[in-house]
Amino acid sequence: MARYITFTNQKGGVGKTTSVLNIGAALASKGYRVLLIDLDPQGNLTQSFMTEMPSDTIFTILMKECSLEDVLFQVKENLLLIPCSSKFANFERQFAADADSQYILTDLLEDIEKAYPDQLDFIIFDTPPALGLITLNALVACREVFVPMNSQEFSLTGLEAVVDVVSRVQKRANPKLNMKGIFFTQHNPRKYISRNMADTLAANFPGLLLQTYIRKNVALEESPSLRQDVFLYAPESNGASDYEKLTNEILKA
C-alpha cells in the first residue's frame, strides 16, 4: 500500500511546492516509486518539470476527458507527475454541487490503485494556498498531512486553522487521516526566532514539530526555473542536505 501524503498550509509562499518537488525527487532517487499530483491552478509544481503545459491535466482526467495513461507523465526515473493548469480553478464550480464533492480525488486514487496495483510507494499532493474544496478533497483522499511553515512569518492562528480542518476531516470523512508533522522552511539560523517558536509550537501541538529545519537557500529558489530539483542543480547546497534530512525523517514518521 502506497503512502498518500498531502503538503498543505492555507498561507501562500511557505514552501509547499518546493517541499513536494524536492522530497519527491529525494524519494525517487532512493528507489521509491513516486507520483506527484499538482492540485494548484497556479501550476508551480508542473512548471518545475515542464516547459509547456500539456493538454491533459488533473482537470481533464477528473472531467473524464482523457485516460489515466494520458495524464501520468514520467518526469524522472521513478517519478510520475499529474500536471495542473489554470483550468483547475474551475474545480469548485464544476464539482461543488455533486453529492460526493469531497470524494472526487478519493475516486481518482482508487482508479489509479486499480489500474496500477502495488506499483507506487508514494502519492503526494501539492495543494493551493486555501482551505477550499480542492484541499478538502486532498485531505479526504490522503492518509498523512505535513505542514510547511515559513519560520520568518510564523503564525499560530494560521496553523490552528489547518489543524482544525484536518481534525474535522478525521472525525467524519476520513478517520484514517493523520497529522504527521509541521516543519519550518526558509529558516534563517542567524535570526533569533526559533527557540520561542519551537517552544510555542511544542506547547500547542505536542510531538508534531519535525526536527529538520529547511534553511533559506538560494539553490532552492533557482532550481525550479531550470526544471531541476535541488539535488541535480546544487547537490552540495544546504537546500539539498536539508531536504535529504527531511525526507529521511518523513520515511521514519
Ligand X SMILES: Nc1ncnc2c1ncn2[C@@H]1O[C@H](COP(=O)(O)OP(=O)(O)OP(=O)(O)O)[C@@H](O)[C@H]1O
What distances in angstroms separate CA 63 from CA 95, 176, 241, one per listed residue? 10, 27, 40
Within 30-89, the residues that bind ligand X by CB under 6 A are 40, 42, 44
**In DSSP terms, which residues pair with 149 in a beta bridge?**
184
- Nearest to Mg ion of 44, 217 (CB atom): 44
Query: Distance (Å, rounded) from C-alpha 101 to C-alpha 253?
Result: 30
Count the site residues for Mg ion by CB under 5 A: 3
- Nearest to ligand X of 134, 201 (CB atom): 134
Binder among 17, 29, 106, 247 for ligand X (CB under 6 A) = 17
- Nearest to ligand X of 58, 112 (CB atom): 58
Helix, strand, or coil (residue 181): strand
Within 10-29, the residues that bind Mg ion by CB under 5 A are 16-17
DSSP state of 3: E
Neighbouring CB atoms inside 10 A of 128's CB total 24
Within 31-90, the residues that bind Mg ion by CB under 5 A are 44
- Nearest to ligand X of 112, 223 (CB atom): 223
Is the separation of the CB atoms in 5 and 146 below 8 Å?
yes
- Name the segment binding ligand X (CB under 6 A); options: 78-86, 95-103, 157-165, 215-223: 215-223
Is the separation of the CB atoms in 36 and 20 below 8 Å?
yes
- Name the segment binding ligand X (CB under 6 A); options: 9-17, 52-60, 65-73, 195-203: 9-17
Helix, strand, or coil (residue 142): coil
- Nearest to ligand X of 66, 219 (CB atom): 219
- Report residue 167: phi and psi, to 5°: -75, -30
Expressed in angstroms, the distance from the first to the final Cα of the chain is 16
Q: Per CB under 6 A, does 217 bind ligand X?
A: yes
Q: Name the residues that contact Mg ion, by CB under 5 A.
A: 16-17, 44
Q: Name the residues that contact ligand X, by CB under 6 A.
A: 12-18, 40, 42, 44, 129, 185-186, 214, 216-217, 220-221
